[in-house]
Structure 1
Amino acid sequence: MPPVREEALAALPVAAAVPELAAALDAAGTAVLCAPPGTGKTTLVPLALAGLLPGARGPVRRVIVAEPRRIAARAAARRMAWLLGERAGERVGFTVRGERAVGRATVVEVVTTGVLLQRLQRDQELAGVDVVVLDECHERHLDADTAAAFLLDVRAALRPGLRLVAASATTDAAGWSTLLGDAPVVEASGVSYPVEVVWAPPARPVRPPHGMRVDPALLAHTTSVVRRALAERPDGDVLVFLPGVGEIARVAGQLGDGGALGAEVLQVHGRAPAAVQDAVLAGSSGGRRVVLSTAVAESSLTVPGVRTVVDAGLAREPRTDHARGLSALTTVRVSQAGAAQRAGRAGREAPGAVYRCWDQAEHGRLPRFPAPEIRVADLTAFALQAACWGDPGAAGLALLDPPPAGALAAARALLSAIGATGRDGRVTPRGTRLAGLGVHPALAQVLLAVAERLGARRAAEVVALLSEEPPRSYGDDLAAALRSARAGGDAYGAGWRREVRRLEGALPGGVRAPSGRVGDDAAAGLVAALAFPERVASARRGGAYLMVSGTGAELGEGSRLRGQEWLAVAVADRPASAAAARVRLAAVIDGDTALAAAGGLRSAGEEVRWEDGDVVARRVERLGAVELAVRPLRDAPAALVRAALLDGLRREGPGLLHWTRDAEQLRDRLAFLRRAVGGGWPDVSDAALLDRADDWLEPELSRARRRADLARIDAGQALRRLLPWAGGEAARLDELAPERIEVPSGSRVRVAYDGEQPVLAVKLQEVFGLRETPVVAGVPVLVHLLSPAGRPAAVTADLASFWREGYRAVRAELRGRYPRHPWPEDPSTAEATRRVRPRKP
């Protein structure tokens, strides 16, 4: 066995902070450790706390280290074992979902936070464990926040001697200190080399990310920045941060052959083969490397040899659309803290540089920290964990951020619907079984439900495929993806097979093989439909689909699922700007499966509504928002018809009624009186008329059955019902707002009330002798004086002033054009006329 690598241990700067950390734990039992990347926080500290370092005195303690990712857990355990001159599984081991390397001599065990939660639910005391280290707590993963809350409960009620360390490079140290009971904060200084920041924004604007989509122009730009970095920085490896596996593959393809590039291109992410992961973490064997990575290399892993970082500036976070029942990863801008972590990777071993694919001004607008997962993610698994812990409402859990009330309520409703919790919210025996399966509760309940029908193996295969979404290269057909996973020799397929074995082994004994063989398509469809009944979707016109939840869905171009009558949608996302969700993974189902899965949403009833400009009455059978059968409804209930007509009036306005010219003027007169006089004169705006439909449209509205009936209602006659009859003011309507005004010529001219001021449009010769402007309801009428041809000649609200000052100009302009009409010198005393002088013989 190789000796302990003391030289490597001595080179880790965090060693200087270990005595202070140990003292803090001795005094308070909890501590917050802030240590820069590359100082040995993840590897040396657990060995020191366990008493495994050379020269250690005192008892050996058992330590659990919780990491947010499987790749980080495996890498940390292997690194610690290497430092001790051992292999993983001896004094240092690891446990992740589907893989375990632990022996009798294991003292330090690295686990994922999900595994830690499962262990806490089985053994709340964590018997035999002395210290728990929550690593990379700044990432604010939901499992890590939940584990911290449970561990604080354990310390308070069962094991006050259990020691707890929250460790990170960049975190809210004060917040974590308060959460852990005013825990001491221990800060370790590291060997920090300067990192030059190079701002490298695209020459042209790129579209912002939405859903899982990243503008190809940004990926092409990132590729060009990698080439630039290789040329400008001749030493060391280049670490490139991209949001996901698909983007890594795209950039790798654009970089092309490593030989032509002058560097080996490696890809590191959670689905990468273990051999590739090990090669990346082992360092270069001679030539330069370009390591394309997701955020997994941001803080959890150390990639040796890196001198340059290229940051595309994007990350992936979970998001849940609670209104539509859609949960998916979405692409977001990296936080300032994340960008700092990424940049720090270039300065671990020597001075380096970071090329940021955005400009400096934009950097200041980035969020300071990533969004805590508890605020944005699906909380169903969290709610089940809390119920199993004995706190269904999570009210007693010590959390940095409380769960959003609406999201938690939706999660608890789902748990109740699948029988995981009772009416009081407490976990049921079934809920305990579901939690023990280690997958989302919706998938866990389906696994138990269909195992006997499909067989344990087949059920586990489909659930494993849904519990960790397959690569995009597998396509959007769930059944085809299942066959690809079985046949594939890629890293995803290997991990999928491990998960299938785990789930199959977790099923209760006695599951019989199915009596008849169920094909992949039927099995995939059944599991997806039962797991996500609200996403059962029916075909619509134009190749689109409608989920029973009411959300529209669309398939990608060239999808083999197009044309199928029913789909069970397993994965979909809906960008904020899109009208419909995009289907990422779905299976074909038949109508019987759709009805069986979403049967709780089946309903039948009479529907009378305003649609396409008229009343539509029908009897409809529905599966949620999907119409299954429709028949015309004769003699629809009058109340429903009336409601539909009112809805039509609200949508299209009172113009659906019959409005004569007199009716329109009456409405204008009433609106004028409300403005000028107030009192009991009614509000006749569209909104007010519709609000008082009972007061003025009855009984005509109750007798109406369709649009044509509305068009026969005399709006003017109906409108008179709103006049203030009770106070007697209605009798003064013609006095206060006369329909017509008699002018000196004897003509009775209609007054227009459709503006702010009443308007009297009259020929100029007909008002000769009228010295004062007419007044209605105390408001002067605006007189539009017309030429003999009826064209506007002047406008005045003061006739006396016009006769003195304005008339002469009008007379001079028009008398030559209209010589047969009178144009007296003094119109205020002249006789009005509506006739012309006869032609001379």
Structure 2
Amino acid sequence: MASRPFDIARIGAGLVVARAESELRAAAQTGAMVVTAAPGTGKTTVVPPLVANLVDGRVIVTQPRRVAVRSAARRLAQLSQTEIGGSVGYTVRGESHTSENTRVEVVTPGVLLRRLLNNPSLDGVGAVIVDEVHERSIDGDLLLGMLAEVRELRDDLLAVAMSATLDASAVSDLLRGAAIVDVPSALHPLEIAYTPGPTRIDQWGVSRHFLSHLAAVAVTEHAADGGDALVFVPGAREVDAVVDLIRSRASGVEVLPLHGQLPPAEQDRATAGRTSETEPRRIIVSTSLAESSLTVPGVRLVIDAGLSREPRRDAGRDMTGLVTVSTSRAGAEQRAGRAARQEPGRAVRVYTEAEFAAMRPEATPEITAADLTDAALLLAAWGTPRAEGLRLLTPPPVAAIDRATETLRSLALISDTGHPTPLGARVSRMPAGPREARALLSAAEHDVPARAAGEVVAAISGGYRDAGADLTRVLRELRDGIAAGSARWRADAKRLAQLSSDVAAGTSTDAAGTVTALAFPERIARRVAAGSRTYLFASGTRAAIPESSPLLGTDWIAVAEVQRADGRVAEGTGAVIRLAAPLSEDRAIELGGNLLTVTRESRIIDGALRVREQTRLGAIPLSSTPARATEEDIASAYVAHVQESGLSVLRWSDEATMLRGRLSFLHRNLGEPWPDVSDDALLAHTDDWLLPALRSAGHRPNLSSLPLTQALRSLLPWPAAARFDELAPERLAVPSGSQIRIVYPASDEADARPVVPVKLQEVFGLAHTPRVADGRVPVLFHLLSPARHPLAVTDDLASFWSGPYADVRKQMRGKYPKHPWPEDPWSVPATAKTNRALRRQ
């Protein structure tokens, strides 16, 4: 094999992972390997160039975040003494630094997923290394599953999964028995301290009092330490707040933020480390992105708030958002370990030991909690709709993937078969989410120029916010350069505008609302009443606009972001709108055309039939007018009346009641295919039995005279119905010759038995108790006197004749002397007649 340009001895000098070079080389020869090594031990630095020296073709390395991509590429380029874009390059959305000479390219998982759709066999690629697998991002999980399929076609492709902490055996199984290389690493001495403060989370989110306490702890601990400090908080808002608090309390210290919304230059400044001892010591305040996916040099003090921001889906309100939760124990341990990678360190947890012990062991897989719309389109484009047939570490929840699939259908991105439409195929390959890409491609049809569409999508997807939730104001401040991140927004807007070459016929005056509605048609919303802050979405969700919003009084809006919230801010809806733009009613109806429905509602009100025709945009009512009743209206109205009032409004004849009892008995004792005829089941399936009876009853059905016996018989399952009378006979022949009706228990009497009420004399000599339900259930005899008063209850007649009968005879023969009471009931024929009638025979 030809020599490669990477000097592993120089690159791996002093790094723990470099000591496992021989094990890594051997494992790579098997075609797939799983590498576990603690953060800071050098796996991201050593393994990619080592693999590049072993394979032909480019080595693709994934990092979960853009800042980690740039940091890893910069570090490897520096150690290999080359410029970015030479032997080492990187690509993130909207930015690429590679060349023909690039041997190792670092990318985000999303970039590689879209490459796979365009080049499923990964021609020209010799190896793929998926790093930080333990974070369990959706893109990372999908990437592993798709790589496992690619390897079945290309046995020369080396697949590598790397992580600080993961279930190595599960990942190995997914990659068809990948070799496992576990690189042990002993931390330098690490001191753990706990300094709990005020309540961490209140009704507004992370408590301001807690953040103040956190900042005070960071300043005090950093003053007593000689190195740099890394402070972990859950999100960008908390990063900015704590940076301001620390700067107001500390002097002679450089305080830097680190989160995903910062411009690349500021992110790189925080992750590069000090270049000399003369530079001021640093406190870096970061989200969880510094937890494992990149190393911040010089850190030997960690201050951990113990909080993370993770996606959670609110199925009831059809929304997904980031919520603040306690981090996992694994995450807390990785954060603490950041302090002792290069020398002895100290980690201060700003919570209690009991709270640490109560944390989840591992991070929640994102696929179980997030909106799966993006993932569902990728899966459909890959040829595995709904992930069916694709091996994944965790399968997507059925309800969530169903919802995502329905969303894609409503956006016209997939067909009824689950495969991408031409528009969906185009969208799936674009470097944007499916909603945003669909809006970009469709904007011109609604008079929105590409530039304006790019600006709106860049603002929505870039995480820009406004206290009043006004997207129009956000765009104005970004254009004027007032808002933070304006330069990044302009670059993103230009890139997004170039994704579509369509030219708009005119110029829209409501581009923000139009593009938002194209991306989120189910979030077109209308104010519920004049003076209200509450809006009803087309999806059925209700949410409130902030009290300070310029959108107050706007009847129609398109919502880009909505979050769960409580108290006054949500006006009782349980959710608050965080970003939206105004729409006209005509525009809302135009853009939500796929959601328009015209339905008829028929009701029985005070005994009279009322019919109205309703037009809705999703769940939003547009109009309601009286209409002339049709036969279908009449039947459905009476069905609804029965469902609301209960089955008692129907007149149940003895025959219908008995039939229902027989069906219920067989369902309880034999199960399928015999139907459930309980109240709940019948009310839930009125279309199967009641609706046909109502339709056949004519223009004005009489609920007291419906043929319920016939209606219930329509539920009999065929061909099993041929045995119905055998399994649950209506009558039982007794020795006297009589046919006695069997009384089956009501549907709500789960433990009751079929009863045969019969005069004692009619079963003289009967020894064996008859059984029903294919011989599974003995009937219960209620033995009666000649006047049909109860004498005994038994399902064992042989024992009765041999025992209790003697006492019954003693008591009854004087009371009923006209009827036979033989001393030996086995020796006389059973009869329904008196002694005199018997003598006449």
Corresponding residue for residue 20 of structure 1? 23
Aligned to 2:256: 266
Matched, 1:385 2:387: no
Q: Give the Cα separation in 1 of the matches to 2:273 and 2:386.
A: 47
Question: Which SS does the other structure have where 1:400 is aligned?
Answer: coil
Q: What per-residue deviation string (whole Å, max 9, x for no partner) do you get for residues 308-348 of structure 1?
A: 11111111222233443312222222111111111111111
Q: Helix, strand or coil for the counterpart of 1:109? A: strand
Among candidates 143, 156, 164, match of residue 161 of structure 1: 156
Q: Does 1:279 align with 2:269?
A: yes
Contact 2:239 2:259 in 1 (8 A): no
Q: Is this contact kept in 2: 1:238–1:309, CA < 8 A? A: yes
1:609 Cα offset (Å): 5.8
Deviates more, 1:311-320 or 1:583-592: 311-320
Residues 1:41 and 2:32 are matched in the alignment: no
Q: In the alignment, residue 580 of structure 2 is paired with which amino acid?
A: A
Partner-residue secondary structure (3-state), 1:628: strand
**Residue in structure 2 matched with residue 529 of structure 1 by the alignment:** 517
Displacement after TM superposition at 1:702 (Å): 8.6
Runs of at least 5 residues in structure 1 that lack an aligned partner in the other structure: 52-57, 655-685, 695-700, 705-726, 728-776, 779-841
% identical equivalent positions: 42
Provide TM-score, normalisation by structure 1.
Answer: 0.71
Secondary structure at the counterpart of residue 586 of structure 1:
strand
* Partner of residue 736, structure 2: none
Q: What secondary structure, in the 3-state scheme, does the structure 1 residue paired with 2:100 have?
A: coil
Query: After superposition, what is the alpha-carbon deviation per residue over 1:586-639, rounded to whole angstroms, capped at 9, x for unaligned?
Result: 111010111112233333444456999999875543323222234567999766
Task: Tell me if the contact between 2:600 and 2:612 (Cα under 8 Å) persists in the aligned partners.
Answer: yes
Structure 1 310/153 Cα, relative in aligned 2: closer, same or farther at 3 Å? Answer: same
Instruction: Give the partner amino acid of 1:10.
Output: A
Give the corresponding residue for 1:672.
Answer: none
Alignment of 1:386-785 (within 5 A): 386-452=379-445, 453-470=447-464, 472-473=465-466, 475-488=468-481, 492-507=485-500, 509=501, 511-512=502-503, 514-519=504-509, 522-541=510-529, 542-575=532-565, 579-607=573-601, 619-631=613-625
Is structure 2 residue 251 aligned with structure 1 residue 257? no
Instruction: Tell me the distance in 1 between the aligned counterparts of 2:559 and 2:361.
Output: 35
The alpha-carbon distance between structure 1 residues 632 and 412, as it changes in their structure 2 partners (threshold 3 A), is closer
Aligned equivalents of 2:83, 2:329: Cα separation in 1: 37
1:292 corresponds to which residue? 285
Which letter does structure 2 place at the counterpart of 1:523? A
1:598–1:515 Cα change, 3 Å: closer
Match of 1:319 among 312, 327, 347: 312
CA contact (8 A) 2:56 2:126 kept: no
Match of 1:184 among 179, 183, 199: 179
Q: Deviations along 1:634-653, whole A, 9 cap, x unmatched?
A: 999766776676677679x9
* Rounded Cα–Cα distance in structure 2 between residues aligned with 1:547 and 1:610: 29
Displacement, 1:502? 2.5
What is the CA deviation profile of residues 557-588 of structure 1, one whole-angstrom value per residue up to 9, with x for unaligned ones? Answer: 21111111111111112259974321011111
TM-score by length of 2: 0.71
> Pairwise CA RMSD of aligned residues?
3.9
Per the TM alignment, residue 526 of structure 1 is displaced from its structure 2 partner at its CA by 0.7
Per-residue deviation at 1:421?
2.5
Change (3 A) 1:556 1:609: farther
Residue 362 of structure 1: CA displacement? 1.8
Distance in 1 separating the partners of 2:427 and 2:202: 39
Cα distance in 2 for partners of 1:381, 1:595 equals 25
Q: Is the 8 Å Cα contact of residues 200 and 206 (structure 2) preserved in structure 1?
A: no
Q: Contact 2:63–2:106 at 8 Å: present in 1 too?
A: yes
Indicate if the aligned counterparts of 2:516 and 2:581 stay in contact, CA closer than 8 A.
yes
1:209·1:332 contact (CA, 8 Å) conserved in 2?
Answer: no
The offset of 1:261, in angstroms, is 4.1
Higher alpha-carbon deviation: 568-577 or 84-93: 568-577
3-state SS in 2 of match to 1:506: coil
Q: Name the CA distance, whole Å, in 2 between partners of 1:114 and 1:605.
A: 42
- SS in structure 2 of the partner of residue 131 of structure 1: strand
Q: Give the Cα–Cα distance (whole angstroms) in 1 for the partners of residues 554 and 615 of structure 2.
A: 21
Q: In the alignment, which residue of structure 2 is the partner of 1:193?
A: 188
Does the 8 Å CA contact 2:603/2:638 hold for their aligned counterparts?
A: no
The Cα offsets for residues 747-776 of structure 1, whole Å up to 9 and x where unpaired, read as: xxxxxxxxxxxxxxxxxxxxxxxxxxxxxx
1-structure distance, mates of 2:629, 2:404: 43
Change (3 A) 1:257 1:538: same
Residue 518 of structure 2 aligns to which amino acid in structure 1?
Answer: L
Q: Which residue in the other structure is 1:94 paired with?
A: 90
| Equivalent residue number for residue 127 of structure 1 | 123
User: Contact 1:316/1:332 (CA < 8 Å) preserved in 2?
Assistant: yes
Q: Which has the larger radius of gyration?
A: 1
Counterpart CA distance in 1 for 2:636 and 2:120 is 58
Do the aligned partners of residues 490 and 96 (structure 1) sit closer, same or farther apart at CA in structure 2, a change above 3 Å counting? farther
Could you tell me how far 1:216 is from its partner in structure 2?
2.6
Q: Is the 1:33–1:165 Cα contact (8 Å) retained in structure 2?
A: yes
| Inter-CA distance 612–620: structure 2 relative to 1 (3 Å threshold) | farther
Distance 2:322 2:331 in 1: 17
Q: Structure 1 residue 136: deviation in Å?
A: 0.4
The one-letter amino acid of 1:150's match is M
Please give the alpha-carbon distance, in whole angstroms, between the structure 1 residues aligned to 2:608 and 2:143: 58
1:501 CA drift (Å): 2.7
Contact 1:34 1:188 in 2 (8 A): yes
The one-letter code of the counterpart of 2:13 is A
Q: Secondary structure at the match of 2:551?
A: coil
Q: 2:374 is aligned with what amino acid? A: A
Q: 1:348 to 1:620 in 2, by over 3 A?
A: same
Whether the aligned pair in 1 keeps the contact of 2:533 and 2:546 (CA below 8 Å) is: no
Q: What is the aligned residue count?
A: 660
Q: Distance in 2 between matches of 1:131 and 1:230?
A: 43
Look up the match of 1:70: 66
Deviations 1:440-498 (A, max 9, x none): 2222222111135212211122122223321x357511122122233337663333333
Q: Provide the rounded CA distance (Å) in 1 between the counterparts of 2:239 and 2:605.
A: 49
